[in-house]
Structure 1
Amino acid sequence: MKMFEELKAKNINFKNRIIMPPMASSKADENGHISKEILDYYEEKTSHGLFSLVIVEHNFIDSLGQASERQVSIADDTSIEGLKKLAKVIKGNGSLAVVQINHAGSSARKDLIGQSPVGPSEIKNPSQKQVELPRELTIDEIKDIEDKFADAALRVKEAGFDGVEIHSAHGYLLNQFLSPLTNKREDEYGGDIKGRIKIHLEIIKKVREKVGEDYPIFLRLGVGDGKEAGLSQKDAVYAAKAFEKRGVDVLDISGGMCLYFSDDDYPGFFDYLSKPIYDEVDIPVILTGGVKAGKDIEDILKRNVCDLVGVGRAVFKDSNWMEREINSLMEN
């Protein structure tokens, strides 16, 4: 079966094609540090040793970019020791370990961050029902955020993880820059797709400078916005190819501004978003969504829409799902 085949990429090798995607657990302590609760959670989810890769839930890079209570922080060096423990748990169970780093932008709540949220433009986040009107970021603030992403990536490496994932999906800050729904800037960080991905390209460049040439960089890309005036397929492909050229090693495809899930709840329901990118890039592509049975993983891979399949909600709900489903496939 294809799902059990190895995949060798430029900077990272996968023992099979099954990954655990990032899913917020809200189990960090009150300071955003790794707690015993979160260590136990990842131990339980990965103890079967069947995932080739585990992408740890989004860590906020700056206090202004915190998305929710008890989210994990990677905003300063005090986070590193706890993350080292988490890396040991996941890698000790036989999986590669990657941390997703993120800034919530206009998805952040004023009552949580203590001030009005920020965004590329003064436009309410259409992916959220109750949010403040964000303050438009200045150029200097954008460059500071770029630096904070790079600093966070270095902390991921120092904590012993096998790679870092930059989050640009699900209505968060980098997705807000990418989408024409929320980016109405008239300077170098707005306008056409070249301007709207400038912050991404600068972050990738700065992260690469911090972590070195051989350290794997993933990018989660929100490809569809769920609205007619949103990100076009043409622009999504352009962005994916530009990120590959700049040095991203793996693309993790998901929905964008207003498209976290699909009403068409079939296995791999975002395959129509991943297929055009899969056909145009030469780096591994991850697709997550709708997997309910072990055979769904194989079915998605056979469609030639991705290289790796994420199993998220099924494992979130049932820690024994992987072992049961994979063993069943092996028996048959």
Structure 2
Amino acid sequence: MKTIFDEVKINKLKVKNRIIRSATWEGMAPEDGSFPEELFNVYHELAKGGVGTIITGFTSVADEDQYFNGITRLSNDKQIPSNRKVIEMVHGEDVRIISQLALGGYYKIFYDGSIDLVEPDRMSTDDIKLVINQFKDAAIRAMQAGFDGVQIHGAHHFFLSRFISPVYNHRADEYGKDVFGRMKILKDIYLAISEVAPSLHISMKINCSDFILGGLTEDESMMICEEMAKLGIDSIEVSGNGTSRGGIRVGVNEAYFGEFAASLAERVDTPIILVGGHRSIENMEKVLNSTKIEMLSISRPLIREPGLINRWKSGDSRPATCVSCNACYNTPNHKCIFVLRGME
């Protein structure tokens, strides 16, 4: 019988339990994209709190990415030292750490020095190759810094998510036409990273569906995941647009992307990670033992209780205290409103 506390090895990643801190937006970084002291403290608290693996918050691969403020980056070598400091601290707590490599939007620098957001339809082939190289170069920096792996962020309406979606990509070349063309950028990024950083565990995060009219469907997402599995990707984390749903009730509507993830896990040998609405040990272990899903990732519960996994391991099995109010989206630095009010 599988438990959330099992030590597991999924391809290149050996971890002390099945729980991952899913990438969580923090928005604390200065303009240079480095880790400020307050963000070190966030990761230290998470590492001490008992999770087996941490996936960093959105880490941009491009200096020009202006999609929002406060993003950490691995877009140039100057950012390696602060990333290395975080890694060493996390490893000191026997926790593995993966850098989520992402792009909010493709901001093209024009000949007159101006910068503009360019969506998939307007990108040249050279623009696309540049993005692929940005992901590859960021992965090299991640390896040099000491990360255990990287995650290609293809979800949540960010650049890669839009590129693979039929709502945004109407290209008629090799990077469009159909789902196989739209997914080519993901395949090219994976192959480029695996060639230059073979020691890294390479994961991918993807929407099971865009949940919008004309968007990426579950059937298309399944095809993309199957193709990435054939290439040899090390793990796939299943999410979806509108990931942080409110009104989660223990034992009622937890694991809300679970049906797709379970179906995917039956169809591929690649380890599947499920995020979304996990609140209780009972339901998490039900998922693990009734499906082939290997690992579970959580976000909002750890914003309120960074030490949740240690609490559960100590024998206090009460569900997470997160009430899924999503107020953390509107607080400074993505903090739990109950913690800020001293109501821990």
Q: Using a 3 Å threshold, how does the CA distance of structure 1 residues 29 and 64 change in structure 2: closer, same or farther?
A: closer
SS in 2 for 1:41: helix
CA contact (8 A) 2:208 2:257 kept: no
SS at match of 1:98: strand
Q: What one-letter code is carried by the residue in structure 1 that aligns with 2:131?
A: I
2:212 to 217, 221, 227: 227
Per-residue deviation, 1:182: 1.2
CA distance in 2, matches of 1:118, 1:144: 13
- CA drift at 1:276: 2.1
**Pair 1:295 & 2:282 matched:** yes
Query: Cα offset for 1:306?
Result: 2.0
Match of 1:277 among 264, 273, 292: 264
Distance 1:107 1:251, change over 3 A: farther
**Matched residue, 2:42:** 41
Q: CA deviation at 1:275?
A: 2.0
1:312 aligns with 2:295: no
Shift of 1:305: 5.8
Give the root-mean-square deviation of aligned CA atoms. 2.1
Task: Name the SS of the counterpart of 2:91 in structure 1.
Answer: helix
Distance (whole Å) between structure 2 residues aligned to residue 75 and residue 194 of structure 1:
28
Q: Which runs of structure 2 are paired with 1:213-292 in the superposition (5 Å)? A: 214-256=199-241, 259-262=242-245, 265=248, 266-292=253-279
Q: Which residue of structure 1 lines up, in the alignment, with residue 322 of structure 2?
A: none
Distance 1:45 1:6 in 2: 18
Structure 2 partner of 1:72: 72
SS of residue matched to 1:63? coil
Equivalence for 1:127? none
Partner of 1:149: 135
Q: Judge which range, 280-289 or 294-303, deviates more.
A: 294-303
Q: How does 1:76-95 map to 2 (within 5 A)?
A: 76-95=76-95
The CA distance in 2 between the partners of 1:7 and 1:118, in whole Å, is 42
Aligned length, in residue pairs = 308
Distance 2:304 2:246 in 1: 20
Contact 2:90 2:97 in 1 (8 A): yes
SS at structure 2 position matched to 1:62: coil
Question: C-alpha distance in 2, partners of 1:98/1:66?
Answer: 23
Identical columns (%): 26
Counterpart contact for 2:28–2:39, Cα < 8 Å: yes
**In the TM superposition, what whole-angstrom CA distance separates every residue of 1:134-159 from its partner, at most 9, and x where no partner exists?**
xx211100001100100000101100
Mapped to 2, the partners of 1:254 and 1:52 lie a distance apart of 20
Shift of 1:293: 3.0
Unaligned ranges ≥5, structure 1: 109-113, 122-135
Contact preservation (8 Å) 2:311, 2:317 = no
On the 8 A contact 1:60/1:101 being kept in 2, the answer is yes
Contact in 2 for aligned 1:225/1:231 (Cα 8 Å):
yes
Mapped pair 1:117 → 2:129 = no
5 and 30 in structure 1: CA distance in 2 versus 1, 3 angstrom threshold: same
Q: Distance in 1 between matches of 2:290 and 2:102?
A: 31
Choose 230-239 or 144-153, whichever is displaced more.
230-239
Task: State the alpha-carbon separation in 1 of the partners of residues 213 and 265 from structure 2.
Answer: 23
> 2:163 aligns to what?
177
What's the secondary structure of 1:295's corresponding residue?
Answer: helix
Between the aligned partners of 1:230 and 1:145, the Cα distance in structure 2 is 22
Deviation, structure 1 residue 234: 2.1
Contact 1:224 1:273 in 2 (8 A): no
* Matches of 1:254 and 1:238, distance apart in 2: 15
Cα distance change, pair 252–87 in 1 and its aligned pair in 2 (3 A): same
Contact residue 208 and residue 247 of structure 1 kept, 8 A:
no
Contact (CA 8 Å) 2:281, 2:317: kept in 1 or not? no
TM-score normalised according to structure 1 size: 0.87
* 1:2 counterpart letter in structure 2: T
The AA in structure 1 aligned to 2:296 is V
